[in-house]
Structure formats: C-alpha cells, structure tokens
C-alpha cells in the first residue's frame, strides 16, 4: 500500500533527525512491499522567522490531507505548533512508552511501561493572563476528556502483554476540584475493566517511585503537564531522551514525534541519536497497520525496532548512549541492515 506522510522537519536537531527518517523511509520503500510519499513541511521557529507564522495554514492543510504526520522537534515556538496541532486534530492521547533494551547506559534494564497522557487540556489550553501584579493560568479538566483518556489507558492495559494495571497519577489533595474530577472519572471508567488492577498515586510519589521502584508500573494515566514531566523522567530510567518515541493519537488521525525537544546544544554536530524519531516511525507503522489492516506495516515495524536494537547491541551507537557513531553513520547502518 502507499501512504502519504507529512513530515515537519523541525528546528535544532530536527533537520538531522528528519534526514535520518527520510533515509529509513526510502530504504523501506526499496526493500519492502510498502510505499511512502513524503511531503516535507516547515513549521516552528524557522517558519515563524520566514512567514511570521509558526504553523502556516498550508502546513495544516497538507497534514490534514495526509494519512499520517511525522514531526521532528521544534524550538521555542513548540507550543504554537504541537499544542495547536494536538487540539485542532483532536489528538487526545499522548502515548509515551518507556521500555528497557539491552546494552543501554540506563538506570534499569527490566522496565516496560507506558505513560498515557491527556493531550488536549489542563494548563496547556494556553489561557494565561495578568491580573494586577499577578499572573494567572487556567487549568481546565473536563469529565469527557478525562473519561476518554482513562478508557484509552484501560484499553492499552488490556492489549499489553503485561501485568494489566493502570495507575492514575494526580495531585487531588491540593487540586481538589480539577484533579478530583480526573480521579473520579478514571475510577468510574475502571469499573468497566474488572480484570485490570486500578490504583491511584500522587504525582510527587510517582516521581519518586519511577526511580525507586519503576517495575511497579504498567500503564500510567495522567493529565497533560504531569505526563510531560513524568515521561522525560521515565525515558531517563531506560536510556535517555535519545531513545524515547511518542505517539499523539486521535480517533482518525495520528502524529508521531520524539519525546524530546530541539536540543539546540547539540544541533548541527551530527551527533544526535535518531532512535527517538526512528522508534516513532515504528509506532507509526504499527498504527498504520492497525488502521488499514495491513500486515506488512506490522512486519516492517518489528523489523525496524529489532534492527535498531541489534545495532546498539553490537556496540554501534551514538554518544548519548555511550557510543561514538555519528547520526549519519548510525542511520546508514540501519538502512543497510533493514
Ligand atoms: P522541551 O522542553 O522542548 O520538551 P526537552 O527538555 O524535552 O525539550 P531537550 O531540551 O531538547 O528536550 O533535550 C534535553 C537534552 O537531552 C538536550 O540538551 C540533549 O543534550 C539531550 N538530547 C535530547 N534529545 C537527544 C537526542 N535525540 N540525541 C542525543 N541527545 C539528546
């Protein structure tokens, strides 16, 4: 099958990661019975500088006309790009797996968990204003969005080959009304899933337990800001941001991106780890496979993941995970080995 991919090339290390992604997609085009038509798009800091708009209308239209979107990290204007895209495309579930692989300089090598982050509301609705000498931000939590993400988390736990547990993470002892509503919604949804263990945990305790006892987690469901923070932490437990992919899912469309930001400190040096973006492509292939009932997508997804990890196992890896390969050397090896 042929799939139309819209690709936001991003800022900072974004263009290097995008180059790597295009090489891999072209290699898949050559080696498997799967075809991609890639349209590169500019959104973010560079687009803002050139057009005065971080997310130009034609970019939104192209994304809407594609089958799926890949997005490299964007810089300072991230909130004007990804937060807006999540809202207008109704990509309500942000899926951030933290999975241990062998031969990583990680805190733990036995972790397999996923954070399911509500993606459309909380403080990320962007309603901030000044009030006299104070600054105020609105935190919106709705029953509908909370139930929708809770259902997604329980469905995820049901499908995973794991301990079948959902942990609702919140701070309802302080945020009594907003997080109180979130916990109540999750608890109500849990009643429809009697075979899945349900527990709740304050976000500070969760932050501690991710270091102290991360093996207790299977699926974490949480609100937007807590999910953002905890997923950077969980990625560090298993190998760092260079290995951390993410999916933004709606009912009919999806966007895949690394967990990390534009990492300006290492931009242009050809040392960024492209695995975060390539594992996002792996998640994209699984999503396309499920949506279009296309077994080749699943096959290529599994092949891409195993190729990345066989390579790392053989000692060929980028600097962030203890190797000395450049971004382009690492990418070339994957295209050769696929
Ligand atoms: P944001 O706040 O925009 O979400 P972030 O804090 O999640 O960003 P960055 O600030 O871009 O992510 O990354 C933090 C640090 O992690 C960077 O300074 C960089 O050193 C490292 N890093 C991130 N991504 C990669 C990568 N793909 N390869 C190697 N190192 C990375």
Supply the pTM of this predicted model: 0.95
CATH for 107-237 is 3.40.718.10
Domain ranges of the chain: 1-97+241-338, 107-237
CA–CA separation, 327 vs 273, rounded Å? 6
Residues with catalytic function = 124, 171, 204, 228, 232
Angle, helices 143-159/178-190, rounded to nearest 10 degrees: 40
Q: What is the mean pLDDT of residues 10-31?
A: 98
CA–CA separation, 73 vs 113, rounded Å? 23
> Which pLDDT does position 171 carry in this prediction?
98
What does pLDDT average to over the chain?
97
Q: What is the pLDDT of residues 220-251, one digit of tens each?
A: 999 999 999 999 999 999 989 999 999 999 99
Indicate the pLDDT class of residue 190, thresholds 50, 70 and 90: very high
Residue 36's alpha-carbon distances to 3, 28, 89, 269, 297, in angstroms, are: 5, 8, 22, 28, 11
Three-class secondary structure of residue 202 per DSSP: strand
Which element (helix H / strand E) includes 3?
Answer: strand 2-8
Q: What is the mean pLDDT of residues 156-180?
A: 97
In this model, does residue 298 exceed pLDDT 90? yes
Q: Do domains 1-97+241-338 and 107-237 have the same CATH topology?
A: yes
Q: What is the pLDDT of residues 101-124, one digit of tens each?
A: 877 888 899 999 999 999 999 999
What is the atom index within ligand 1 of the atom nearest the CA of 259?
7
> Which pLDDT does position 106 carry in this prediction?
87
Residue identifier of the C-alpha nearest atom 31 of ligand 1: 242
> Which pLDDT does position 103 carry in this prediction?
79
Q: What is the CA radius of gyration of the chain?
A: 20
> Which pLDDT does position 193 carry in this prediction?
98
Q: What is the pLDDT of residues 48-75, one digit of tens each?
A: 999 999 999 999 999 999 999 999 999 9
Indicate the pLDDT class of residue 89, thresholds 50, 70 and 90: very high
Q: Is 325 in the pocket of ligand 1 (CB under 6 A)?
A: no
CA–CA separation, 314 vs 216, rounded Å? 30
What is the atom index within ligand 1 of the atom nearest the CA of 277?
27
CATH for 1-97+241-338 is 3.40.718.10
Q: What is the mean pLDDT of residues 189-204?
A: 98
């Amino acid at each position: 099958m042929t799939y139309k991919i819209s690709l936001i090339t991003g800022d900072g290390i974004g263009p290097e990661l995008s180059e790597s992604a295009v090489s891999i997609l072209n290699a898949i085009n050559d080696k498997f019975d799967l075809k991609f038509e890639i349209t590169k798009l500019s959104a973010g800091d560079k687009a803002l500088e050139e057009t005065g708009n971080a997310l130009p209308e034609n970019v939104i239209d192209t994304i809407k006309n594609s089958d799926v979107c890949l997005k490299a990290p964007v810089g300072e204007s991230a909130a004007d790009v990804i937060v807006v895209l999540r809202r207008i495309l109704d990509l309500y579930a942000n899926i951030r797996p933290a999975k241990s692989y062998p031969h990583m300089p990680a805190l733990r090598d036995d972790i397999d968990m996923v954070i399911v982050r509500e993606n459309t509301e909380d403080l990320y609705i962007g309603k901030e204003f000044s009030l006299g000498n104070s600054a105020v931000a609105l935190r919106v939590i709705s029953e509908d969005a909370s139930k929708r993400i809770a259902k997604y988390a329980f469905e995820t736990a049901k499908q995973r080959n794991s301990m079948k547990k959902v942990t609702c993470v919140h701070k309802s002892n302080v945020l009594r009304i907003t997080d109180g509503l979130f916990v109540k919604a999750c608890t109500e949804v849990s009643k429809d899933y009697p075979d899945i263990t349900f527990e709740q945990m304050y976000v500070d305790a969760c932050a501690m337990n991710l270091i102290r006892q991360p093996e207790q987690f299977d699926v974490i469901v949480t609100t937007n800001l807590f999910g953002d923070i905890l997923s950077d932490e969980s990625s560090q437990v298993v190998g760092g941001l260079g290995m951390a992919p993410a999916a933004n899912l709606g009912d009919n469309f999806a966007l895949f991106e690394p967990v990390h930001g534009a990492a300006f400190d290492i931009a242009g040096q050809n040392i960024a780890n492209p695995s975060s973006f390539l594992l996002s492509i792996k998640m994209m292939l699984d999503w396309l496979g499920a949506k279009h009932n296309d077994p080749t997508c699943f096959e290529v997804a599994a092949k891409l993941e195993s190729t990345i990890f066989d390579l790392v196992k053989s000692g060929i890896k980028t600097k962030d995970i203890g190797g000395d390969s450049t971004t382009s050397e690492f990418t070339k090896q994957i295209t050769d080995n696929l």
